[in-house]
Amino acid sequence: MKKIFTGLAAAMALTSTVQAADVTGTVSFTNDYRFRGISQSAGDPAVQGSLDAAFDNGVYAGIWGSNVDFEDDAKLEIDYYVGFANDINDDLSYDVSYGFYTYPGYNTDAEYGELALALYYGDLGFTMAYSDDFFNTGESAQYYSVDYSYGITDAVSLDLHAGYSTGDYWGKADINDYQDYSVGISGSAIGLDLSAAYLFNSIDNADEIDKGAFRNDNTLLVSVSRTF
């Protein structure tokens, strides 16, 4: 999949010579960094940021970072991604992307790549992601998710999410295949993007972690972000 990353990056570089990019940056604060229902910050707050460049033809690229806490040498996560998004018709659109996850300074080489395909129909979205070397373990993992956002008002939306983690990695990890869910609201005020969501999952009680690294218990997730 690194070849896919290289090819998309080359396409972006070629595009940038003939089209101006729309560059944006975002800074976010959250009370817990949850990745598919599992905490990456040991249940503690996280400061996150991204820088994105998007071109008129649908090509985009970006970098995203956050503090992490695995209760070892891992302190920082930096992800790189490139992709292409386009409309199929007035109602249906798609987004294909490749992300590369890195953990600078970590005592274990945990870098890995993931290919994702998303389809959107109105306010409904479906995403399928695949890694052949999840967390650099040599095991494959897949993630499927469905998201729906309903506008309660012009400024506030109801957000529903359901995800499913499966594959060889989860069959051999302490946690088997599982589903994660969230119900929340989001909106904007005084130039800030605000969200609150209740997260829960299907992880067995025997495998539930309610404190420390990789917490997977139910939680209320609150975040505030600003895009420049």
Q: Per the CATH hierarchy, to which homologous superfamily does domain 2-227 belong?
A: monomeric porin ompg (2.40.160.40)
**What amino acid is encoded at 132 in this protein?**
D
- What tokens does 158 get? 């109801």
For the chain, what are the domain ranges?
Answer: 2-227
Encode pLDDT of 10-54 as tens digits.
Answer: 545 554 444 678 999 999 999 999 999 999 999 999 999 999 999
Encode pLDDT of 61-110 as tens digits.
Answer: 999 999 999 999 899 999 999 999 999 999 999 999 999 999 998 867 89
